């Protein structure tokens, strides 16, 4: 049973380019969460999605960031026109229950570097 | 707004010693999690605490939850070098759906 799969593991983008981060949840999990971790800091919630629905996007920056979780395929976190401040580790987590009572399983993360 | 504070943020200890990491949170919570993160790695789930007075132990680590004091502790017994990592507590609230609010993390270094 593969865990939460994120790719790519490392991503380098020049300022102004687009970054697309992918997350495939654990088998049987239909709830996906994205978190961002800036260097030397804790994780900050970004967005919570179910299949084809955004449930809570209160942590998403208002501009340039978007997320989707289509009926088929992985969840995508998209960052348009990246800036240096977007450099961070982006973690995806999944759960089988909406409340995550039994805990979340985190992926290995995508480390985005904007040069 | 829920705030989660950990202390200490940095902890250097010798092998064989005991120590406690504290996690305070500002509003009522119905669940608390402890995670471990090694440098450049993902988060590994250690404990899930769901009720007042809950205590869980795994090896040299023991976590407890006091919901009245809004405090969780992670106690390390007879530390070994392999425990060196960053430890995060995270708090969930039913009112905020499934989002977790993380503490800043405690960077633990265990010296021989």
Instruction: Express each pLDDT in A6-19 by its tens digit.
Output: 999 999 999 999 99
Residue B14 confidence (pLDDT): 94
For chain A, give the longest Cα–Cα distance.
40
B25 and B70 in contact (C-beta within 8 Å)? yes
**Interchain contact, A99 vs B92, CB within 8 Å:** yes
Burial group, residue A23, by CB count within 10 angstroms (0-12, 13-18, 19+)? buried
pLDDT digits (tens, 9 = 90+) for B91-101: 987 666 678 89
The percent of residues above 70 in pLDDT, for chain B, comes to 96
Q: How many CB pairs under 8 A join A and B?
A: 66
- Rounded mean pLDDT, A38-42: 84
Which residues in chain B are contacts of A57 at CB distance < 8 A? none
Q: ∠B27-B32-B38 over CA atoms, to 5°?
A: 125
Q: What is the mean pLDDT of residues B63-85?
A: 96
Distant-in-sequence, close-in-space partners of B80: CB < 8 Å, separation ≥ 6:
B15, B60, B110
């Amino acid at each position: 049973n593969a865990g939460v799969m994120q790719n790519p593991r490392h991503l380098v983008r020049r300022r102004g380019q687009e970054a697309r981060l992918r997350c495939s949840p654990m088998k049987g999990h239909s709830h996906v969460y994205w978190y961002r971790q800036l260097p030397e800091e804790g994780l900050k919630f970004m967005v919570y999605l179910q299949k084809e629905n955004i449930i809570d996007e209160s942590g998403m920056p208002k501009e340039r960031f978007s997320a989707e979780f289509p009926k088929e395929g992985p969840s995508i976190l998209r960052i348009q026109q990246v800036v240096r401040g977007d450099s961070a580790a982006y973690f995806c987590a999944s759960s089988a229950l909406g409340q995550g009572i039994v805990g979340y399983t985190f992926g290995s993360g995508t480390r985005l570097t904007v040069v | 707004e829920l705030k989660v504070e950990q202390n200490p943020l940095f902890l250097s200890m010798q092998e064989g010693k005991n120590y406690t990491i504290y996690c305070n949170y500002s509003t009522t919570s119905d669940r608390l999690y402890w995670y471990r993160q090694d440098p450049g790695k993902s988060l590994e789930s250690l404990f899930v605490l769901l009720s007042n007075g809950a205590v869980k132990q795994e090896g040299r680590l023991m976590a407890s939850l006091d919901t009245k004091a809004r405090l969780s502790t992670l106690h390390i017994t007879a530390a070994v070098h392999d425990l060196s990592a960053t430890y995060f507590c995270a708090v969930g609230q039913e009112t905020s759906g499934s989002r977790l609010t993380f503490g800043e993390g405690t960077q633990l270094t265990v010296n021989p």
